[in-house]
Chain A
Amino acid sequence: MAMLPPVPSPGAPPVRLLELAPATDQQARRGRAGLRRLVRAVRANRKASTGTVLLALFCLVALVPGLIAHDNPNATIYPRSLGPSARHLLGTTALGQDIFAQTVWGTRQVLIIAVGVGLLSTGIAVLIGVAAAFLGGLWDGSLNLLTDVLLVIPLFPLLIVIATYVQNAGTMVLVLVLTLTGWSYTARQLRAQALSLRNRDFLLAARVRGERRMYIVVVEIIPTMTSLLVASFLTNALYAVLFASSLQFIGLGDPNSDSWGTMLYWAENNEALQTGQYLWAVVPGACIATLGAAFALLNYAFDEIGNPALRPVRRIRANRAG
């Protein structure tokens, strides 16, 4: 994937929180102060701090699953359908696997998919959205059409159809499919944002200085979109978690992978609910919901931080018609 645009690294680019109000040149250039402000805002907002802590916990588990769960998640060597005990914290499955180990080891794949899809689809959205806005003319028309078409094709049925033909989609295939189908909403927002910037003074100044187009886009424009990019990353990560788990749950993932969706697939196929093995179905689903909630809380919190609610902020989202 050589076409990946530079993803904003946490140190360098100025972070602007009020993207809905038209950016002034000064705001666009505000430096590191923005990052410090961001940290303070996250700490002050309960939803944001809850989301951050949850996400950090999941990342930790995904990094060192072996330290937390000592059992092999794939071993089918234990007595079947045990209840929780000191030896098996969450009991065992009807296939003789340790549920706690499976849950802990399953964290990694979901997080890889979430982060991968979040980054890649935001990247594609930047490329296509900004290109459409700045190239204009026929380019804008066709890129815009592509975005709109993808936006209205019902996503989950499309994913099901693709995953059916692919068969046993592994991590990389899931990331690829979810990325290719998921970038359109952000691309549309970014295009609108880029269009609104086009004739700002600081861009004209850069042009007069004779900067190259690439430089203008990367150094002058993308930093002004940071908060849109963060929102896009979080939304796409949330959808990746939900969609990937759903696909795995209905048996379209790799049935041998360690993941929460796959656990649910086996639980459903072995009638875990009807045979009293509740934890087998409850635990992985609760993990999906918690990870999803972490992304959703962060996303909502960023909305709140950037949009102090009682201030009359005009929505510029009504851009789908026309």
Chain B
Amino acid sequence: MRFALRRLGFFAVTMWAALTLNFLLPRMMPGNPAVAMMAKFRGPVSPQAFKALAAAFGLNNHQSMVSQYFSYLGDVATGKFGTSLYFYPQSVGRVILDAIPWTLGLVGITTILAFVLGTGIGIVAAWRRGGRLDSIAPPVFVITSAIPYFWVGMMLILVFAVRLRWLPGAFGFDITLAPSFSPAFIGNVLEHALLPATALLVTTIGTWILTMRNTMVTTLAEDYVRMARAKGLPGRRIMLDYAARNAILPNLTGFAMSLGFVVGGAILVEYVFNYPGVGFMLLQAVNNEDYPLMQALFLLITVAVLVAILLADIATAIFDPRTRTAG
């Protein structure tokens, strides 16, 4: 219980740090960059929204820094993120809510898939140590994990969308179709998700394989595994129940954490594929100087990661008693 409270306290502090960064960054930069943004949007934005913006980015000189800071914290606490400039007159909240399902679907499913496949391959590679898989996997996946996501995406677009014309290389669905839950539309969405999902899978699976393989190799040398062999237990049982079960902890923790990174993790893949998720919105906001949207998305991504790490910590503490006393 004390452990959980301490972690909660830590996350409150982290959240506060992220909020404060969000507040301070535009004010610290030479020549507040928000000024340029304001000039750009003076036309289309209503005077009232404009005034709110000026206050949010510290252009309102009547207020002291401290009172600006507290009214900012109040706004965030009550969920007032203001109006998006680029998607005006939609509110920031609306834009984000529209984007979240796309990211959760694409990145969420891919993350789970990469974890399951990668862990499985890692188990087999370590079990058949010195075999063909084990000699190929490490160098190959060390290299794939060093390739930029977005470039893998570009190459997939080049081969499968531009040259072969097998799959669409942009957008979440065919824009001539009306979104619905009909089989045709769902099929269309899946078709559009295939290339970005592959790009993510190729670049993320390596970490799972290597972590699992390396931990498993260590576990396989433990005495209790030798004991199980001496007892003549079937190989499958030793592999899964004795070795893999104990070796999977680092991967499980990593998995819980990576679920938090789902929200912001595929920013560049979404960007390359014009996939209408959270990451794409973040870059739209960046490229169009829509700072309110950008700040809200950054906070959202941070919260998602924090929650996931908190859950990962609690899960680790439950599964592995050794960590509870570690200081």
Residues of A participating in the B interface, judged by any CB pair closer than 8 Å: 46-47, 145, 148-149, 152-154, 156-158, 160-162, 164-167, 238, 242, 245-246, 249-252, 264, 268, 273-274, 278, 281-282, 285, 288-289, 292-293, 295-297, 300, 303, 309-313, 315, 317-322
Given contact pairs A285-B154, A322-B324, A309 touches B218 in the complex (Cβ within 8 A): yes
A157 and B297 contacting across the interface, CB-CB below 8 Å: yes
Tell me the residues in window 286-327 of chain B with beta carbons closer than 8 Å to chain A beta carbons: 286-287, 291, 294-295, 297-298, 301-302, 305-306, 309, 313, 316-317, 320, 322-327
Give the interface size class of chain B: 35 or more
Give the complex CA separation of A161 and B313 in angstroms.
Answer: 28
B286 and A160 contacting across the interface, CB-CB below 8 Å: yes
Query: Least Cβ distance of B227 to chain A in Å?
Result: 14
Question: Which residues of B lie under 8 Å from residue A153 when comparing CB positions?
Answer: 14, 17-18, 21, 302, 305
Give the complex CA separation of A150 and B33 in angstroms.
Answer: 24
A321 and B146 contacting across the interface, CB-CB below 8 Å: no
Give the complex CA separation of A296 and B322 in angstroms.
Answer: 31
Task: Tell me which of A157, A252, A289, A303 contacts B147 (CB under 8 A).
Answer: A289
A300 and B142 contacting across the interface, CB-CB below 8 Å: yes
Query: Least Cβ distance of B64 to chain A in Å?
Result: 22
B221 and A310 contacting across the interface, CB-CB below 8 Å: yes
Nearest A-chain residue to B320, judged by Cβ: A318
Q: Interface segment, B101-109, B190-198, B264-272?
A: B264-272
B309 and A152 contacting across the interface, CB-CB below 8 Å: yes
Residue among B138, B146, B282, B327 facing the most chain A CB atoms (10 A cut-off): B146
- Consensus secondary structure, chain B interface: helix
Query: Least Cβ distance of A169 to chain B in Å?
Result: 12
16 contacts between A and B (CB under 8 A): A145-B13, A154-B305, A158-B21, A161-B294, A166-B29, A242-B146, A246-B148, A249-B268, A250-B286, A252-B286, A264-B154, A288-B148, A293-B143, A310-B221, A312-B221, A315-B250
A238 and B148 contacting across the interface, CB-CB below 8 Å: no
Determine if B166 is an interface residue (Cβ-Cβ < 8 Å).
Answer: no
Question: Which residues of A lie under 8 Å from residue B294 when comparing CB positions?
Answer: 160-161, 164
Give the complex CA separation of A242 and B154 in angstroms.
Answer: 15
Tell me the total A-B contact number using a CB cutoff of 8 A.
161
Question: Which residues of B lie under 8 Å from residue A154 when comparing CB positions?
Answer: 261, 264, 301-302, 305
10 residue pairs, one from A and one from B, having the closest CB atoms: A292-B146, A285-B151, A296-B146, A289-B147, A321-B323, A322-B326, A293-B143, A293-B146, A165-B29, A300-B142
Question: Which residues of A lie under 8 Å from residue B138 when comparing CB positions?
Answer: 47, 300
Give the complex CA separation of A116 and B148 in angstroms.
Answer: 20
Residues of B participating in the A interface, judged by any CB pair closer than 8 Å: 3, 10, 13-14, 17-18, 21-22, 25-26, 29, 33, 129, 138-139, 142-143, 145-148, 150-151, 154-155, 157-158, 162, 210, 214-215, 217-218, 220-222, 249-250, 253, 261, 264, 267-268, 271-272, 282-283, 286-287, 291, 294-295, 297-298, 301-302, 305-306, 309, 313, 316-317, 320, 322-327
Question: Which residues of A lie under 8 Å from residue B217 when comparing CB positions?
Answer: 309-310
Given contact pairs A152-B306, A250-B271, A310-B217, A322 touches B325 in the complex (Cβ within 8 A): yes
Nearest B-chain residue to A46, judged by Cβ: B139
Residue among A238, A251, A292, A300 facing the most chain B CB atoms (10 A cut-off): A300
A160 and B267 contacting across the interface, CB-CB below 8 Å: yes
Given contact pairs A309-B214, A312-B221, A156 touches B264 in the complex (Cβ within 8 A): yes
Task: Tell me which of B10, B146, B282 contacts A148 (CB under 8 A).
Answer: B10
A149 and B323 contacting across the interface, CB-CB below 8 Å: no
Query: Least Cβ distance of B316 to chain A in Å?
Result: 5
Nearest B-chain residue to A51, judged by Cβ: B142
A251 and B287 contacting across the interface, CB-CB below 8 Å: yes
Question: Which residues of A lie under 8 Å from residue B139 when comparing CB positions?
Answer: 46-47, 297
Query: Least Cβ distance of B114 to chain A in Å?
Result: 18
Nearest B-chain residue to A261, judged by Cβ: B148
Known: A164-B286, A310-B220, A321-B326. 10 other contacts (CB 8 A): A148-B10, A161-B22, A246-B150, A250-B271, A273-B158, A281-B158, A285-B154, A288-B147, A292-B147, A300-B138
Give the complex CA separation of A62 and B316 in angstroms.
Answer: 46
Query: Least Cβ distance of A209 to chain B in Å?
Result: 30
Give the complex CA separation of A309 and B324 in angstroms.
Answer: 27
B298 and A158 contacting across the interface, CB-CB below 8 Å: yes
Question: Which residues of B lie under 8 Å from residue A245 when comparing CB positions?
Answer: 148
Query: Least Cβ distance of B197 to chain A in Å?
Result: 19
A315 and B218 contacting across the interface, CB-CB below 8 Å: yes
Nearest B-chain residue to A285, judged by Cβ: B151
B14 and A152 contacting across the interface, CB-CB below 8 Å: yes
A296 and B143 contacting across the interface, CB-CB below 8 Å: yes
Nearest A-chain residue to B154, judged by Cβ: A281
Residue among A152, A293, A319 facing the most chain B CB atoms (10 A cut-off): A152
Query: Least Cβ distance of A148 to chain B in Å?
Result: 7
Give the complex CA separation of A278 and B14 in angstroms.
Answer: 44
A273 and B162 contacting across the interface, CB-CB below 8 Å: yes
Give the complex CA separation of A149 and B309 in angstroms.
Answer: 12
B218 and A313 contacting across the interface, CB-CB below 8 Å: yes
Give the complex CA separation of A206 and B138 in angstroms.
Answer: 43
A289 and B148 contacting across the interface, CB-CB below 8 Å: yes
Query: Least Cβ distance of B71 to chain A in Å?
Result: 21
Question: Which residues of B lie under 8 Å from residue A47 when comparing CB positions?
Answer: 138-139, 142
B282 and A157 contacting across the interface, CB-CB below 8 Å: yes
Query: Least Cβ distance of B30 to chain A in Å?
Result: 9
Query: Least Cβ distance of B202 to chain A in Å?
Result: 12
Give the complex CA separation of A94 and B63 in angstroms.
Answer: 50
Nearest A-chain residue to B272, judged by Cβ: A268
Query: Least Cβ distance of A42 to chain B in Å?
Result: 15
Give the complex CA separation of A242 and B83 in angstroms.
Answer: 33
Give the complex CA separation of A273 and B161 in angstroms.
Answer: 10
